[in-house]
Structure 1
């Protein structure tokens, strides 16, 4: 299997979200394909749009025999949501959750580690008295 021209994981989803975020109207698969350019197959773009819709990142409406797509909310928030879902799936797929989380935290930059600690502290619920 050749990896020539392979995209990093999630890159096409991010490109599609960015394309739809700047569009001034809902786009069809063909319109997204034209905006993205390159040598993408129609079915590749269609599958990517369908997956983003199933993740809740896009709103889909039927227009004749085709669908049009728009970003479901703030594009940055949607991108973060898609990334978070991917992280959860990877964590759930691993056998050693503690090991995975330990290595993840150990690889964080200091500022990201501080942010994570602050987020965890903010979500802690005090015990009822």
Structure 2
């Protein structure tokens, strides 16, 4: 998974945070509170995000209403998977990652692992690692 560009991330962040469909105009107006950005630039990037499968859209009058196709958590998990896949020594990379986790994050990871164990699997995660 490729990391989102700066403007792509700004657009997605707003849509994730708002939790509702929004027009390009709404996104532009919100970004313009912090820095200037052209309507056509945001419209182009929203269309790119749509074509990449990050956004879905529906026509509302003359405007498109955009909303995320995937969650912020899906995006973050994809980045984490890619980082792990690129490591030559996965156990060492995982160890370094865990060593820098806060106690709160450690508890969240422990709870996530227990949830996965209760559900009886990891949807192919073992196949990715070559385990049986």
Aligned length in residues: 109
Residue of structure 1 in register with 2:84 after alignment:
91
Aligned residues: CA RMSD: 3.4
Residue of structure 1 in register with 2:112 after alignment:
119
Equivalent residues in 2 for 1:12-91, closer than 5 Å: 12-18=11-17, 20-21=18-19, 26-37=21-32, 38-41=35-38, 42-44=40-42, 46-47=44-45, 50-51=48-49, 54-55=53-54, 58-62=55-59, 67-71=64-68, 78-91=71-84
Q: With the length of structure 1 as denominator, give the TM-score of the two structures.
A: 0.59
Structure 2: stretches of 5+ with no match in the other structure: 1-5, 122-132
Would you identify which runs of 4 or more consecutive aligned residues in structure 1 move more than 6 Å?
none
Closer, same or farther in 2 for the Cα pair 1:120/1:14, shift >3 Å?
A: same
**C-alpha deviation, 1:69, in angstroms:** 0.7
Structure 1: stretches of 5+ with no match in the other structure: 1-6
Q: With the length of structure 2 as denominator, give the TM-score of the two structures.
A: 0.58
- What is the CA–CA distance in structure 2 between the aligned matches of 1:107 and 1:45, rounded to whole Å? 39
